[in-house]
Amino acid sequence: MADPAAVLLAARDEEATIAATVAALREQFPGVEVIVADDGSRDATAARAEQSGARVVQLPRRGKGQALTLAEQAAPPGSILLADADLVGDLRPLAGEAADLVVAAFAERRGGGFGLAKRVARELIRLRSGFAAREPLSGQRRLSEEARAKCFPLAAGFGCEVRMTIDAARAGLGVAEIELPLDHSATGRDLRGFAHRGRQLVDALLAAGPLAVNHRGLRLPIVGWTLGVRGDPAVTAVAAIGLADDVWSGPERGFKGHLIAGRTTGVLKLVGIPLVGLLATRKVSGALLVGLAANFLNQLDTKPGRALKAYLAGALVVGAPLGSAVLLLPYDLRENVMLGDAGSNALGAMLGLSSVSRITGRSRWLAIGALAGLTLLGERRSLGELIERTPGLRTIDSLGRVP
C-alpha cells in the first residue's frame, strides 16, 4: 500500500510529547504532511508541533472527534493515518495492510483501569456491526480513501474510534487489527484516570446512537430524545416522532417538499404531532399550538443554542419546565451534542402544552396566528438568517456559542 496522504493528530496540552511524536512520524513517512489539530491547548503544544514541522490547525476546545474531523477537512485527498499525540512507536506496518481500516493493537498493555470502558466499546461495536474488535479504543489507525469517505466526519469526543469501526464494518469495508510494539502515556487507577475513562465510556455510548451533522460539518450525538424519557406522555410521543425523522429522514425540506414526496417522516411529523396535541388537550387550539410550536423551534434549530434560548424565553412566559433545557444549553452551545428534531419538537410540544393552560380565549388564537405566521415566513425565508441580520437578536443568539 502507498504512504498515506496525511497523518492527523488531535492534541490538547501535549507540549511534553508532541514534538517527538511529530518528528518520528515525519521520519517514518517522509514527505507526508503531518497535521496537528490543537484542541484548545493552554500550553505550547501548537508551537512545539510547528517547530517539529507539522501543520497546525488551532481550535477552541471541542473534543477529539471534532478536532480530527476539522483536521481531515484540511488534509489532501487520499488515505490518511491517525495517531495519538503521545505515541511512541513505528506505524509504518499500518500502511502495509490491505484492509480499508487498519487498527493498531498494543502488544503490551500498560496502565489503564478495570477494562469496563473497553468491554463496553467492544460490545457496542459487535451489536451495531457484528465485528469483534480487540482494540476498540485504539487511536492508531489507517483509513483508505473509501474508509475515509464512509467514516468522516467522525463521532464526537472519545467515541470517534468506536463509531469509526462501526461505520466501516457496516459499509462492508475490510477491517483489520494488527499487533504492534507501541507505547503511550497511559492513565492509571487514580481520580484523573477514572475521569478519563468515564468520559470515554459516555462518549462511546453516545457515538453508537443516533448522530447528525451540524452547520460546521461536525457529527454530533443527538440527545434531544432524552427530553421525552421522563415526563408528559405527550412529550414522549412527540420526541419519538422527531427521533424517527432524525434517523430515517430523506432529502425533503419544508411542508411543500414533504407533501409532494408523500410518505416521509416529515409527513409523519406534520400529522402526528398535532394529533398528539389534540389527544393530550382535547382541543383543536391545543393541537394547533403543539404542532406550530414544535415546528417553530425545529426551524430555529440551525445553530447551537438557538432553539434552546427561544424555548427558555417562551417557557418564562407560559410556565413550561426549565430544568432539562438549562442543563442541555451549555453542551449544545459548545457543540458537544445536538437537539435534533427529537429535541426541538419535544421542546415545542412542552411550550404548546403549557400555553394551553396559561393562555385562554382570544390570546390563545393570537398566539396561534403568530406561530402560523412565523411558520409561513420560515417556509419562504430562513428564520436563522433573519435573526443574524437583526442587531439585538444577533447579540442574544451568539451569546455563549463557540466561534
Identify the pLDDT of residue 249: 75
Mean pLDDT over each residue of the chain, to the nearest integer: 91
Task: Kindly state whether residues 233 and 365 are assigned to the same domain.
Answer: yes
pLDDT of 116 above 90? no
3-state helix, strand, coil in the chain (%, to 5): 55, 10, 30
Task: Kindly state whether residues 228 and 197 are assigned to the same domain.
Answer: no
What is the residue-wise DSSP string for 38-93? Answer: EES-SSSHHHHHHHTT-EEEEE-S--HHHHHHHHHHTSPSS-EEEEETT-BS--HH
**Domain range for 158:** 6-212
d(CA 311, CA 351): 7
Task: Kindly state whether residues 311 and 389 are assigned to the same domain.
Answer: yes
Per-residue pLDDT reduced to its tens digit, 182-203 = 987 766 667 777 787 888 999 9
Higher pLDDT among residues 259 and 41, named by residue: 41
pLDDT band at residue 260 under the 50/70/90 scheme = low
Task: Report long-range pairs for 119-128 (Cβ below 8 Å, ≥24 apart).
Answer: 120/201, 120/204, 120/205, 121/161, 121/162, 121/200, 121/204, 124/162, 124/166, 124/204, 124/205, 124/207, 124/208, 125/162, 125/165, 125/166, 125/169, 125/208, 127/208, 128/166, 128/170, 128/208
d(CA 128, CA 165): 10
Identify the pLDDT of residue 96: 87
d(CA 368, CA 374): 10
CA nearest 231: which of 94, 353, 340, 326?
A: 353
Identify the pLDDT of residue 3: 85
Task: Kindly state whether residues 254 and 168 are assigned to the same domain.
Answer: no
Higher pLDDT among residues 182 and 250, named by residue: 182
Identify the pLDDT of residue 252: 61
Q: Does residue 101 fall inside a structural domain? A: yes
Task: Kindly state whether residues 141 and 204 are assigned to the same domain.
Answer: yes
Identify the pLDDT of residue 167: 98
Q: Does residue 217 fall inside a structural domain? A: no
DSSP 183: B
pLDDT of 262 above 60? no
Identify the pLDDT of residue 229: 87
Range scoring the smallest mean pLDDT among 188-197, 215-224, 340-349: 188-197
How many other CB atoms sit within 10 Å of the CB of residue 157?
Answer: 23
Q: Does residue 403 fall inside a structural domain? A: no
Cβ-count burial of 126 within 10 angstroms (0-12 exposed, 13-18 middle, 19+ buried)? middle
pLDDT band at residue 250 under the 50/70/90 scheme = low
Task: Kindly state whether residues 323 and 361 are assigned to the same domain.
Answer: yes
d(CA 94, CA 79): 12
Identify the pLDDT of residue 66: 95
Say if residue 153 is preceded by a cis peptide, omega within 30 of 0.
yes
Identify the pLDDT of residue 111: 61
> Could you say which of 212, 236, 269 is where a domain stops?
212
Mean pLDDT of 25-45: 95
pLDDT band at residue 273 under the 50/70/90 scheme = very high
Q: Please, where are the H alpha helices in 171-248?
A: 191-207, 233-248
pLDDT band at residue 263 under the 50/70/90 scheme = low
Identify the pLDDT of residue 251: 63
Chain CA centroid to CA 6, Å: 24
How many other CB atoms sit within 10 Å of the CB of residue 250?
Answer: 12
Q: Do 159 and 218 contact (CB within 8 A), yes or no?
A: no
d(CA 93, CA 102): 10
Task: Kindly state whether residues 203 and 345 are assigned to the same domain.
Answer: no
Range scoring the smallest mean pLDDT among 17-21, 60-64, 120-124, 379-383: 379-383
Task: Kindly state whether residues 115 and 231 are assigned to the same domain.
Answer: no
Q: Does residue 1 fall inside a structural domain? A: no
DSSP 347: H
Residue type, 329: L
Task: Kindly state whether residues 40 and 116 are assigned to the same domain.
Answer: yes
> Could you say which of 160, 178, 212 is where a domain stops?
212
CATH number, domain with residue 157: 3.90.550.10
Task: Kindly state whether residues 245 and 179 are assigned to the same domain.
Answer: no
pLDDT band at residue 75 under the 50/70/90 scheme = very high
Identify the pLDDT of residue 357: 84
What is the residue-wise DSSP string for 112-139? Answer: --SSHHHHHHHHHHHHHH----S-TT--
Reading the block at residue 5, the C-alpha cell is: 496522504
Per-residue pLDDT reduced to its tens digit, 350-402 = 999 999 988 888 899 999 999 999 988 988 888 999 999 999 999 999 999 98
> Could you say which of 149, 183, 212 is where a domain stops?
212
d(CA 12, CA 29): 23
d(CA 154, CA 75): 14
Looking at the chain, the whole-number percentage of residues with pLDDT higher than 70 is 94
Task: Kindly state whether residues 196 and 52 are assigned to the same domain.
Answer: yes
Q: Does residue 282 fall inside a structural domain? A: yes
Tally of domains within the chain: 2
Per-residue pLDDT reduced to its tens digit, 317-333 = 999 999 999 999 999 99
Range scoring the smallest mean pLDDT among 145-159, 179-193, 341-355: 179-193
Per-residue pLDDT reduced to its tens digit, 276-306 = 999 999 999 999 999 999 999 999 999 999 9
Mean pLDDT of 131-159: 95
> What's the length of the chain?
403
Neighbouring residues of 70: CB distance < 8 A, sequence distance ≥ 6: 37, 57, 59, 62, 217, 218
pLDDT of 52 above 60? yes
Task: Kindly state whether residues 130 and 254 are assigned to the same domain.
Answer: no
Q: Does residue 111 fall inside a structural domain? A: yes
